[in-house]
Amino acid sequence: MNQSEREFFPVAGVRLGAAAAGIRYQNRNDLVVIEMEQGGNCAALFTRNSFCAAPVVLARRHLEAARPRYLLINSGNANAGTGAQGMHDALESCRALAALRGCRPEQVLPFSTGVIGEPLPVERLAVALPDALSALSERGWALAATAIMTTDTRPKLVSRVFEFEGARFTITGMAKGSGMIRPDMATMLAYIATDLKVDSALLQGCLKDAADLSFNAITVDGDTSTNDALVLIASGHADCKPLLSREEALFSTFSEALTSVCMALARSIVKDGEGATKLVEILVEGATGEGEAREVAYTVAHSPLVKTALFASDPNWGRILAAVGRADLPQLDIDRVELWLGDVCIVRDGGRAEGYTEAAGQAVMDRDEILIRVRLGRGDATARILTCDLSYDYVKINADYRS
Active site residues: 187
E strand or H helix that includes residue 143? helix 141-147
Neighbours of 66 (CB within 10 A): 15
**Residues 6 or more apart from 364 whose CB is under 8 A from it?**
315, 341, 342, 344, 370
| 3-state SS assignment for residue 158 | strand
State the Cα angle at 208 between 271 and 31, rounded to 5°: 60
Q: Provide the pairing of β-strand 279-287 with 369-375.
A: parallel
Separation in Å, CA 111 to CA 29, 114, 135, 253, 343: 15, 11, 19, 30, 43
Residue type, 395: V
- Measured in whole angstroms, the distance separating CA 88 from the mean position of its chain's CA atoms is 27
Can you give the length of the chain in residues?
A: 403
